[in-house]
Structure 1
């Protein structure tokens, strides 16, 4: 288990995650914003939407690949 902290709107939030998922989440967060500094709620929302778009794009690619295989 690993604790990850981030500051949003002047309040520190700490979450506990299982390894190796925690490492991946921590890396993703630091790529999108600085978890150690005070971030606005807008920053977190933008990061969330960025990841959602990436997930949708990956889902589309996966569906296209699956169409190439017979049922």
Structure 2
């Protein structure tokens, strides 16, 4: 796995972990509802962004530079 794909995978895993940890802490009554909501509202768009980047990160071939029209 190349460096770009590895970095994106770490970001994807970290944002998913924040969401799961906030949900688990809320279920165990360790944090208030507003704190869990804040963590999830911040982490979910990051998760979607990294998922899109992970999906589009090609393996093996370099990006073609934009040369204009």
Per the TM superposition, whether the score is higher than 0.5 is no
Structure with more of its chain in helix, by fraction: 2
Structure with more of its chain in strand, by fraction: 1
Higher relative contact order structure (alpha carbons within 8 Å, sequence separation ≥ 6): 2
Task: Give TM-score, length-normalised by structure 1.
Answer: 0.36
Task: Give TM-score, length-normalised by structure 2.
Answer: 0.37
